[in-house]
Amino acid sequence: MITTQCRTDCMYCYADRNRKNDLTSWQIIKVIDEAHDMGVVNLALTGGDIFAFPDWKEVIRKVGQYGFTPLLSTKIPLKEDDIYFLKESGIKFLQFSLDSIFPSTLQTMVRVKEDYIDNVKQMFEYCTRAGIKVTVRTVLTKHNSDSHEIDSLCTFLSTQPCVTSWVLTPAFYSKYKNGYTDYRASDEALVYAYKMTKTKSLSVGFSILYNKMDGEKYELHPYETVDEFVAKNQICNANSYSMSILADGNATACEMLYDNPHFIFGNVRQHTLRELWNSDVALRMYSYTQQMIKQKENNACTECKVYADCKLGVGKKVCYVDIAKVYGTDRYEYPDPRCPQALNCEVDLIL
């Protein structure tokens, strides 16, 4: 995570933007050098918005020198010279987050100026000229999930040769923003948006993809049995194949855990990447046995027969981010919300 700063102010923002102790460009490049020297094969650059970082060109130039090809995501309409700099640095793909083509909707959702969409159109033209492919990601709320919004955005995207895919996702709960139930898209609107765009998928010149959306109302359905849960639930590779470095230098198992103290390995200002990967916190998380559980009250994990398959070793079957969202940051020892032995989820969240 290069920075928590951004040029927009999204109503659904998931980042903690109150941080003031970001790494300097020199410190970031030092970490990139170290990652390359120790044989890291994949490097992601995230935010906030990387293009809100003052020295973003230095960072991208460095990752390009090492042959890393990160997918960069932004909401900032980039200038022509920026697009050609990216091309010269080996960047072939961008993700651009665009929630609407209407200035009034954009002002409500992401707090941008009136000319924002015109600047986006200009950027897409630059991308087309430079041969940079663009994935557009749209976050659906109650403000942009009706037929007029969806149809207008789809029509606009179909006129942009650089757009190769469109990802639709509902807005998720953020602990850093208030009013989730006020801006959350209704289940009916999400189903309608899915069905409407599904019918258009064969006539537009790009693929349409969905996150947590299908033709039925979203509901958090626990699996029938714990055996089915460990067989079918999503796999988490955090702390098995990857770790995340936050903008302040803290290393954690997953970027979305942010500063949850139970998952902080240490800080790159004081430790090498190898030391962080082999830290006490990282090793304990990797092999957190049932005997180590401290929070035993109403916690079915303490005696679960599939605990080893679920929470030990490579490819865990739990999402610690979702556990924290539902039960709080201190209850990380509890079951995944999708487990049939989990505590009841009383909040209408999309996980």
Listed in sequence order, the DSSP H helices in 135-177 are: 147-158
User: What does the pLDDT look like over 276-321, one tens digit per residue?
Assistant: 999 999 999 999 999 999 999 999 999 999 999 999 988 899 999 9
- State the pLDDT at residue 217: 77
Q: What percent of the chain has pLDDT over 70?
A: 98
Q: Which residue has the higher pLDDT, 216 or 226?
A: 226
Q: What's the Rg (C-alpha) of the chain?
A: 21
Say if CB 272 and CB 37 are below 8 A apart.
no
Neighbours of 41 (CB within 10 A): 8
At 48-107, the pLDDT tens digits run 899 999 999 999 999 999 999 898 999 999 999 999 999 999 999 999 999 999 999 999
pLDDT given at position 333: 95
* Structural domains in the chain plus CATH codes: 25-210 (3.80.30.10), 226-327 (no CATH)
Mark 185-205 as b/e (b = at least 16 C-beta within 10 Å).
Answer: beeebbbbbbeebeeeeeebe
Residue-level pLDDT at 348: 67
How far from the centroid of its chain's Cα atoms is residue 205's Cα?
26
**Average pLDDT taken over every residue of the chain:** 93
**25-29, 213-217, 252-256, 331-335: the lowest-pLDDT one:** 213-217
Phi, psi dihedral angles at 137 (to 5 degrees): -115, 130
The mean pLDDT of 30-44, rounded to a whole number, is 96
pLDDT of residue 346: 62
pLDDT tens-digit map of 107-162: 999 999 999 999 999 999 999 999 999 999 999 999 999 999 999 999 999 999 99
Phi first, then psi, for residue 113 (nearest 5°) are: -80, 170
Q: Which helix (H) or strand (E) holds 165?
A: strand 163-170
The mean pLDDT value for 225-244 works out to 94
Residue-level pLDDT at 173: 83
Instruction: Tell whether the torsion through CA atoms of 69, 242, 258 and 315 is positive or negative.
Output: positive
Q: Positive or negative CA dihedral for 83, 47, 16, 335?
A: positive
What are the distances in angstroms from CA 336 to CA 221, 257, 309? 12, 15, 13
Q: With cut-offs at 50, 70 and 90, classify the pLDDT of residue 258.
A: confident
Could you give the percent of the chain with pLDDT greater than 90? 81
